[in-house]
Amino acid sequence: MTSLFSPAPLLTFALLLLLLSGGIGWLLAGAARVSAAVFSSGGLVASLATIAAAMQILPGDALTVALPPFSFQAGFSPLNALLLLAIWLPALFCNLYAWVWLRSVGGPVRARAGLLCHLLMATLTTAVLAVNAVQLILSMELAALCAGLLIVQNDDVKSRRTGLNQFLSARLGTLCLALAFGLLYHTSGSLNFDVLRHSELSAGVRSTAFLLSLTGFGLYAGIIPLHGWVPQSHTSAPAHAAALFSSALMKVGILGVIKVGLDLLGAPPLWWGVLVILLAMLTAFIGGLYALMEHDIRRLLAYHTLENVGIVLLGVGGAMIGVTLRLPLLAALALLAGLFHLFNHGLFKTTLFLGAGEIERQTGTKDIERLGGLARLMPWTAGAMLIALMAMAALPPLNGFASEWLLYQSFFQLGSSPFWLTRLLGPLLAVGLALTGALALMCIAKVFGVAFLGSPRGGTAGASPAPLAVTLSVVIPALLCVVSGVASPWIVPLFSLVAADVLHMTAPVVTQHGAVFSATSAVSAPMVAILLLAMPLLPWLIAVALRGSRLPNRRRGDAWACGYAHSAGMVVTATGFAQPLRVMFAPLYRLRQRLLPAALTTALHQGGLAALCRRLAFIELAVLLVAALA
């Protein structure tokens, strides 16, 4: 007899709880505290249930299980379990944040945001567990509709334009996916993934289906140049919804690329992997470069999400090349790095979006130029965001460093292969990844130096330590960034098993004696952490021991400003900090204006198209929900 705490009952319970708590919270939206508690507690319990189910599925074999009372066949596999874990762990902290945020908004906004977030997570869960193309496309379409309606919370021109961009991008993505799987159905006679895996497909059909699906999933994942909906949508939506876009919705697009490129269509030809890896490098570099120019903190983080999507896809593309060239160590190491970074990104980006949301909620601004001195006013938020920014920049011993170091090792494997193209690509990709890391490091200096350490400006009035629930929602994932980085030698083997299952090969041995290693080098994250702690502590202890009473304590006063009184205008600004790079890469910044002319965007947003699309979104959401439940 199946236990109530086995994966299928837990997932069924989570989905039912999301629908039930979403409906009850929507009905009780007039009572702020009760409605917020219903929405948030339902989401929290559903998160814990799904995480418990994913942890049980992760080490097991692939199988298909029914989820009663739904007429839904769920695919349980290590890859699906990892994706569930990667999207529901951030959702746990988003629900904690939502507990406070929902109480601070009006009843209509509370009703829409709470219900749509629950529907978004439910549909993303069914998309991850889908065993055929109909389930996958229907679930992703529902998730995109929920995201689009979450964006248009404030009925202003900016939100309506953003909602229209997202609506059109998602419809184009769904169309591409429908064409791709329609072509596969015409050839194989089935939309079931197990049948497609074993179908004999011609090279032309495989390549056409791959390009269509890469475009469709790329629109969801935000691969540049298909990223137009991403930056503004993360700014217009509530902060916890933006965190879900980054850590959940876009990750399902990456899952689609992995399934099509490495699973459903058989061994990929070399040009598939080269195409993915070049698009990934473009996405990572351009995302990091554009992020550095942004002063809207949430828009900046959205561009950094694009950078990290590119980093994950570098691992996926490297794995595809490894499979093509029959280099199993390269394939396993690259996919392992990509999957580990996918998981890590959800932790530090959730911390950053929720921290930025709390700053906006208290100060009323997202403009970095108007912020300053927040480290004294919001110390817990500042500390958590500093850790997350360091993880985003891949500084040791945090989790971003652990996953990107594995990716560097895969590039070294690529550069040492016997094929001239890969020997050329390996070093170039390593240099490109190093450049994106440098851009991320500059973003740390810009965001934390100006907003948290700079002199207070007018926008910081009213800032104070965040409520307990919000503090926990940013501090806990920040601590997990430290834990998953320092403990990476014991976590990486689990991800290695997932990569081996996807590639149908034996998992490589990548950890030993507390160190993560490859054929070229080894790094012990715990030892790095100990050394980093010892470097500042040891000189301080020596100074304390030897100073005695010879030196008086320092006097504290205003900063020295060459004889003039110090003022906020003397502090470096975000604009001034990024100006040299804006000049250096001016052609790349002008490129997006030439590729997307102002006349075209103005014509697109004129008339009643936005209002029509919004009404169509509501109608389509209602129809698809009825179809899905039926």
Residue type, 234: H
Spatial distance between the Cα atoms of 75 and 83, rounded to a whole number of angstroms: 12
In this predicted structure, the answer to whether residue 575 has a pLDDT above a threshold of 80 is no
Residue 379, Cβ density class (10 Å: 0-12 exposed, 13-18 middle, ≥19 buried): middle
Token pair 């950078």 is at which residue?
A: 307
User: For residue 549, what pLDDT is reported?
Assistant: 60
Residue 607, Cβ density class (10 Å: 0-12 exposed, 13-18 middle, ≥19 buried): exposed
Spatial distance between the Cα atoms of 512 and 493, rounded to a whole number of angstroms: 10
Report residue 95: phi and psi, to 5°. Answer: -70, -35
Spatial distance between the Cα atoms of 7 and 66, rounded to a whole number of angstroms: 11
Spatial distance between the Cα atoms of 259 and 257, rounded to a whole number of angstroms: 6
In Å, how far are 150, 430, 525, 569 from 511, measured between CA atoms? 43, 22, 11, 51
Neighbour-count burial for 284-307, b at 16+ CB within 10 Å, e otherwise: bbbbbbbbbbbbbbbbbbbbbbbb
pLDDT band per the 50, 70, 90 thresholds, residue 257: very high
Strand partners, 512: 515
Spatial distance between the Cα atoms of 351 and 304, rounded to a whole number of angstroms: 13
Spatial distance between the Cα atoms of 235 and 300, rounded to a whole number of angstroms: 9
Mean pLDDT score of the chain:
84
Neighbour-count burial for 168-177, b at 16+ CB within 10 Å, e otherwise: bbbbebbebb
Instruction: Look at 74-83, 197-206, 254-263, 367-376 and tell me which has the smallest mean pLDDT.
Output: 367-376
Give the pLDDT mean for 24-33: 86
Q: Answer whether 51's CB lies under 8 Å from 88's CB.
A: yes
The pLDDT tens digits of the residues spanning 341-400 come to 999 999 999 999 999 999 888 888 888 888 878 888 888 999 999 999 999 988 888 888
In this predicted structure, the answer to whether residue 87 has a pLDDT above a threshold of 90 is yes
Q: Answer whether 477's CB lies under 8 Å from 350's CB.
A: yes
Residue type, 24: I
User: For residue 107, what pLDDT is reported?
Assistant: 83
In Å, how far are 5, 58, 157, 501 from 8, measured between CA atoms? 8, 13, 44, 21
The pLDDT tens digits of the residues spanning 5-14 come to 888 889 999 9
Q: Is the pTM of this model over 0.75?
A: yes
pLDDT band per the 50, 70, 90 thresholds, residue 576: low
Q: Which helix (H) or strand (E) holds 387?
A: helix 379-392
Spatial distance between the Cα atoms of 195 and 213, rounded to a whole number of angstroms: 18
3-state secondary structure of 61: coil
In this predicted structure, the answer to whether residue 114 has a pLDDT above a threshold of 80 is yes
Please report, in angstroms and rounded to a whole number, the separation of the first and last CA atoms in the chain: 28
Spatial distance between the Cα atoms of 180 and 611, rounded to a whole number of angstroms: 30
The pLDDT tens digits of the residues spanning 377-386 come to 888 999 999 9
In this predicted structure, the answer to whether residue 1 has a pLDDT above a threshold of 50 is no
